[in-house]
Structure 1
Amino acid sequence: MNPVLPQHDPKPDRREKYLERQRESYRYNYDYLPPIAYAEQVPISEAFSAKYQAQQFKAITKILLNLSTAELGNLFDPFNHLDDYEKLFLGEPLLPKPASTRNFLLDTEFARQRLAGANPLMIERVDHQKLQQLVQKFSVSDALFQQVVDTELSLEGAAKEGRLYLADYAMLEGMQPGRYQYWQKFITAPLALYYWQSTGYSDRGVLVPVAIQLNQKPGSNNPIFTRLDEPNWSIAKTFVQIADFNHHELISHLARTHLTIAPFVVATARQLADNHPLKILLKPHFQFTLAINDLARFSLINPGGFVDQIFAGTLKASLSLVAQSLETQEFKNLALPTELKRRGVEDTTALPNYPYRDDAYLLWNGIHRFVTEYLNLYYKNSTDVINDYELQRWAKEVTAQDGGRVKGLTEDGKVDTIEKLIEIITQLIFTCGPQHAAVNYPQYDYEAFTPNMPAASYASPPTKKDIAIGTSDQSNFLQYISPYLLKYLPPKQQAVSQLQLTYFLTAFKYDRLGYYERTDFQDPKAQALINTFQRNLHIIEDRINIRNTKRTHPYVFLKPSLIPNSISI
């Protein structure tokens, strides 16, 4: 099939008849997650293939074999020690032990996960203005800061040097907690302050946690915890991880990838003919997205499903958070360069070790180059963009109230230049591939082992400092902290469910970024660009491999060979 813009197609009637049929099959639904646009149904052409279903079956079988072989005992009995959670993983050829089982209690590992963990999207720089606002609700003193991080810098000095960072989970404030059987769940809306320490165990420094406040409003029952306050420090870190888990799964993952892309899938099917160059380019990057979203609707985010069962909030509260995130976001602000700049973390000098940012930039630039060259094959100038009436209908439908309801597609709401179109398509492909990979595939390493990142707490958060033991003797720290943490961690059945969910969502990669079926692109000029794109992806992978030899922990989630084309799992 030769790609051609509609204004140049000698058979416009054929295109229109095709699109009329498509509009019958692809419809929007606004009732499931109001007011968000959801796909009404999954057309047969969007369903999982036999190959995909075989990979699903293999993953389910592996989980069941692992759990049936593990010595679980009564699923309703409590765990007696933190080590018991690790016994759920029998190792290859069944379920491997997640990476987080090794160092999850270390402060440096806790902080590192803000930069290279499951949710590397929360940390933001605290500059002078932000610091003035922050101290109104999170009043860490200079004296405490200097004692904790062993520096002569003041908070203002650290902020001025670009070394002060914050993860603020204010969006979770007031979230209605759920229940599991007779257990009440708990979640807080914490603030966690971090400091970039330029002299650490690596030559590039290390991010260290400074202080944690578990709720947004300061008060006598909402103390500030530091490493000087064990065991409450480890408990406070656990509550941050709980908040991060819920933000990650509901906002960074579900809202900002799966549900952000879904309206574009529907609009593309309804408004772009099968021989439209954009339809040809986007189709492999939209593969199975409607199907996986539909599967989630009926097995993950349904009453009694995994979100209802193991997440901290009620199902209604969790879905309300998703809807609120989607309703308030603007598409253009989620573009990688814009999003990093908004958080103040684009400066590689101030924060030199941020694996997600550094590797994501390589992929963004590589995709941008490929998209630019591809679109220039078919759009000779911006007039071609304006005269592409299918594209204009697509853009109108994506943003319409009776369409996709996407906000902020472009700065002025128009798609009238090649440059604007390049940015939109780059962002779509980046979100479908690298961005989804960055928030999906770390789930097993960081969330399958429940003590590292629980989905909920099963005891109320500490409201007093209590007696601190300090941190001088770390030799038996695991033995010491275990009974304190156990009462907060999910019971055995919940831990098993969290393991099942995170393994199933990361068990396989259906295809590979930039590698397409032979029938996808039949234009020889486009195929030549794809060959160049693939070579560039190999170069990017080589650069990441070199970086990983210098990192204390390799970051593999944005290696191009490990990124699928689409949001398919």
Structure 2
Amino acid sequence: MPSYTVTVTTGSQWFAGTDDYIYITLVGSKGCSEKNLLDKPFYNDFERGAVDSYDITVAEDIGDIQLIKINKHKYWYKDDWYCRHITVKTPAGDYLEFPCYRWISNDKEIDLREGTAKLVTHDVTQIHKQHRRKELEDRQKQYRWKEWHPGFPLSIDAHCHSDLPHDIQFDSEKGVDFILNYTKAMENLFVNSFMHMFQSSWNDFADFERIFVRISNTISEYFIQHWKEDFMFGYQFLNGCNPVEITKCTKIPENFPVTQEMVELCLERKLTLQQEIELGNIFIVDYKLLDGISANKTDPCTMQYIAAPICLLYKNLENKIMPIAIQLNQTPGPENPIFLPSDAEYDWLLAKIWVRSSDFHVHQTVTHLLRTHLLTEVFAIGMFRQLPAVHPVFKLLIPHVRFTIAINTKAREQLICECGLFDKAMGMESKEDIPYYFFRDDGMKVWDATLNFAKDVVDVYYDSDKTVCEDSELQAFVKDVYVYGLRDNEGSGFPKMIKTKEKLIEYLTLVMFTASGQHAAVNFGQYDWCSWIPNSPPTMRCPPPTNKGEVTIEYIIESLPDRGRSCWHLGAVWALSQFQDNELFLGLYPDEHFVEKRVKKAMAKFRKNLEDIISFIQERNKNKKLPYYYLSPDRIPNSVAV
């Protein structure tokens, strides 16, 4: 009688093992095996991290294996089991791999397909077609769209982390509880001693240094010594936490009436402002997005203020980006002066602080939250709803959305909800010729490596543009993202359908890069650049100055966050800058969703390209006082998980 060897691998995360009864049925093209109990006498099967093998004998030839069915029945209490994968050795000596990578609950049957990726058009048997259809029907019941807040992209329909499908929950809620992490941060940073003075002001800039006694950080320590310098102010637009706002200035905006006379002392080439613009030496950062935004009113005892500044920057003869003019609000006029480097020291310093505060708000709400966290969640939900596990795009993207829905749900629970941690700290509701723009330069290297990887994988499964167009599941995924996730917003720039391989490769690259490189670049430097409160104030307690020559050091200190909000802020940026204990970095795919040799070869090539980027960045950073490493692939997690 034909005999098969079934090898089962249990996950290594917490509580992955089970004492329940596990049954397997082999479904072949000619028939099915009996329902076999997987059990070794006097042996504890399915322990966490275990690899267990079993021999199964069938009465007659069942043909080619189509599916395997897994059943779990309760032994004595609720005991979910995490199955990584199952391997079946056939009587002919062939090895078939069945990826699982999911939790199996009590009395739940799941069907697994052999791991070779298949497009919907590749399935010819009725059993495979039915399995594919049933999987998506079940997923669409689990993964439902919901409006969390008007104007935001749609998110998962779940009130809290425990409401999520088990497969996308964190392995341990404790590790990603923002309240617990914040408390841990406060202990590590030794700032609890300030909390009894919650609403009191600091005495001077040196007073802020007292909260840095426990953490050694090369960048923040260097930054404290140089934060007032114009060079350091300009440098952050290139390589700080929010390196995406700076653009080339082709014309001075009408609502920003900077004149030649105002800036001529800063123009080192002795050219006119217009000539410098034409040469590409003038840049601009405009926070008009904040115009009209209401300040945070959750604390009735403290007034808070928002500005919408415009900042003009100049590439000088040393190729440094220097600020040359700042207007703190969008409407010009006598009470909205343009501040200049030639103004009184504290006038100019406070103008720069206001820009940094505005940059912090845009970074947290738009660059970080909206354009990495929420956008990646949209792709994740669309993927689960429209792509079965056997689809190559599902297999490609699943590592890059790991824990993203979970971290966003946690954030909506504890961080960005009304009276969440953000409310306690914050005060609001084209390639360019720029030197030393490491975010851009390193980002392009990581983008190209990711694009080449996506191309290699797409080439395995799509032989033509016609194949792309005919992939109904792919098109349903793209449409679901656009119509529901992005709310049919043409301004989003995303397509409603994809017609060519080239566009598919670009689309997949964008998803993977956003979840990995882009998030890493704008998240993990938060402690480096935002821990020094005067450089990135999360709120301002006095209104922007309306006249020059009246700002004092006392006014600046009174404008900055009080001791309590500074502590909330410091704890938050420290906690958000930490990697997870079980972090998986770019190019590392221990969950083997793909079994094809061509894809595994593409993965190896991807890792080699990433290693070359790591070596390049390490060499460039040698002896730098301000090393840039946020886009080094060994510091880029695969997914948005913090």
TM range, smaller chain: 0.7 to 0.9
- Within 2, Cα distance between the matches of 1:565 and 1:226? 43
Q: CA deviation at 1:227?
A: 1.7
What do residues 447-491 of structure 1 show as CA deviations (whole Å, max 9, x unaligned)? 1221110011111111111169xxxxxxxxxxxx75342111100
Quote the residue 2:212 is aligned against.
Answer: 89
- Within 2, Cα distance between the matches of 1:356 and 1:35? 27
Q: Is 2:373 aligned against 1:258?
A: yes
108-117 or 77-86, which deviates more = 77-86
- Within 1, Cα distance between the matches of 2:634 and 2:367? 22
- Within 2, Cα distance between the matches of 1:96 and 1:126? 30
Quote the residue 1:363 is aligned against.
Answer: 446
Q: Which one has a larger percent helix, Structure 1 or Structure 2?
A: 1
Q: Is 2:601 aligned against 1:533?
A: no
For 1:446, which of 525, 529, 534 is the aligned residue? 529
Quote the residue 1:471 is aligned against.
Answer: none
Quote the residue 2:323 is aligned against.
Answer: 209
Q: CA deviation at 1:257?
A: 1.0
Structure 2 residue identity aligned to 1:228: S
For 1:221, which of 335, 349, 354 is the aligned residue? 335
Q: CA deviation at 1:173?
A: 0.6
Quote the residue 1:455 is aligned against.
Answer: 538
Quote the residue 1:238 is aligned against.
Answer: 353
Give the number of aligned pairs: 515
Q: Is 2:542 aligned against 1:419?
A: no
Q: Is 2:412 aligned against 1:289?
A: no
The answer to whether the 8 A contact 1:513-1:563 is kept is yes
Quote the residue 1:502 is aligned against.
Answer: 573
Q: 1:2 to 1:410 in 2, by over 3 A?
A: farther
Q: Is 2:145 aligned against 1:22?
A: no
In structure 1, runs of 5+ residues without a counterpart are 200-204, 319-340, 469-480
Q: Is 2:289 aligned against 1:166?
A: no
Q: 1:514 to 1:51 in 2, by over 3 A?
A: farther
Q: Is 2:295 aligned against 1:177?
A: yes
Q: Is 2:78 aligned against 1:5?
A: no
Q: CA deviation at 1:512?
A: 0.3
Q: CA deviation at 1:353?
A: 2.0
Matches of residues 8-407 of structure 1 in structure 2 within 5 Å? 8-10=122-124, 11-34=128-151, 36-41=153-158, 42-50=164-172, 53=175, 59-60=181-182, 62-68=184-190, 71-72=193-194, 74-76=196-198, 77-92=200-215, 100-127=223-250, 130-131=251-252, 134=253, 136-179=254-297, 180-199=299-318, 205-229=319-343, 230-313=345-428, 318=429, 341=430, 346-347=431-432, 350-401=433-484, 405=488, 407=490
Q: Which one has a larger percent strand, Structure 1 or Structure 2?
A: 2
- Within 2, Cα distance between the matches of 1:425 and 1:464? 51
SS of alignment partner, residue 218 of structure 1: coil
Structure 2 residue identity aligned to 1:505: L
Structure 1 residue identity aligned to 2:628: Y
The answer to whether the 8 A contact 1:98-1:446 is kept is no
SS of alignment partner, residue 130 of structure 2: helix
Q: CA deviation at 1:267?
A: 1.0
SS of alignment partner, residue 166 of structure 1: strand
Q: 1:144 to 1:252 in 2, by over 3 A?
A: same
- Within 1, Cα distance between the matches of 2:595 and 2:236? 43
The answer to whether the 8 A contact 2:178-2:415 is kept is no
SS of alignment partner, residue 209 of structure 1: strand
- Within 2, Cα distance between the matches of 1:55 and 1:295? 7
The answer to whether the 8 A contact 1:99-1:445 is kept is no
Q: CA deviation at 1:551?
A: 5.6
Q: 1:412 to 1:275 in 2, by over 3 A?
A: closer
What do residues 311-365 of structure 1 show as CA deviations (whole Å, max 9, x unaligned)? 222xxxx2xxxxxxxxxxxxxxxxxxxxxx1xxxx14xx3222111111110111
- Within 2, Cα distance between the matches of 1:34 and 1:207? 35
Structure 2 residue identity aligned to 1:212: I
- Within 2, Cα distance between the matches of 1:430 and 1:494? 33
- Within 1, Cα distance between the matches of 2:191 and 2:542? 30
SS of alignment partner, residue 194 of structure 2: coil
304-313 or 219-228, which deviates more = 304-313
Quote the residue 1:202 is aligned against.
Answer: none
Query: RMSD of aligned C-alpha atoms?
Result: 2.5
Q: 1:223 to 1:52 in 2, by over 3 A?
A: same
Q: Is 2:618 aligned against 1:567?
A: no
- Within 1, Cα distance between the matches of 2:450 and 2:336? 46
Q: CA deviation at 1:382?
A: 1.4
- Within 1, Cα distance between the matches of 2:608 and 2:191? 44
Structure 2 residue identity aligned to 1:492: R
- Within 1, Cα distance between the matches of 2:361 and 2:494? 30
Q: 1:221 to 1:458 in 2, by over 3 A?
A: same
Q: CA deviation at 1:402?
A: 8.2
- Within 2, Cα distance between the matches of 1:402 and 1:172? 24
What do residues 161-207 of structure 1 show as CA deviations (whole Å, max 9, x unaligned)? 100000001111111112334110011110111000122xxxxx211
Quote the residue 2:55 is aligned against.
Answer: none
Structure 2 residue identity aligned to 1:188: A
- Within 1, Cα distance between the matches of 2:184 and 2:630? 22
The answer to whether the 8 A contact 2:614-2:634 is kept is yes
SS of alignment partner, residue 439 of structure 2: helix
Q: CA deviation at 1:32?
A: 3.1
522-531 or 94-103, which deviates more = 94-103
Structure 2 residue identity aligned to 1:559: S
In structure 2, runs of 5+ residues without a counterpart are 1-114, 159-163
SS of alignment partner, residue 285 of structure 2: strand
- Within 1, Cα distance between the matches of 2:495 and 2:235? 38
The answer to whether the 8 A contact 1:66-1:89 is kept is no
Q: CA deviation at 1:139?
A: 1.7
Q: 1:354 to 1:67 in 2, by over 3 A?
A: closer
- Within 1, Cα distance between the matches of 2:611 and 2:177? 26
Q: 1:144 to 1:47 in 2, by over 3 A?
A: same
- Within 1, Cα distance between the matches of 2:173 and 2:143? 24
- Within 2, Cα distance between the matches of 1:537 and 1:55? 32
- Within 2, Cα distance between the matches of 1:402 and 1:531? 33
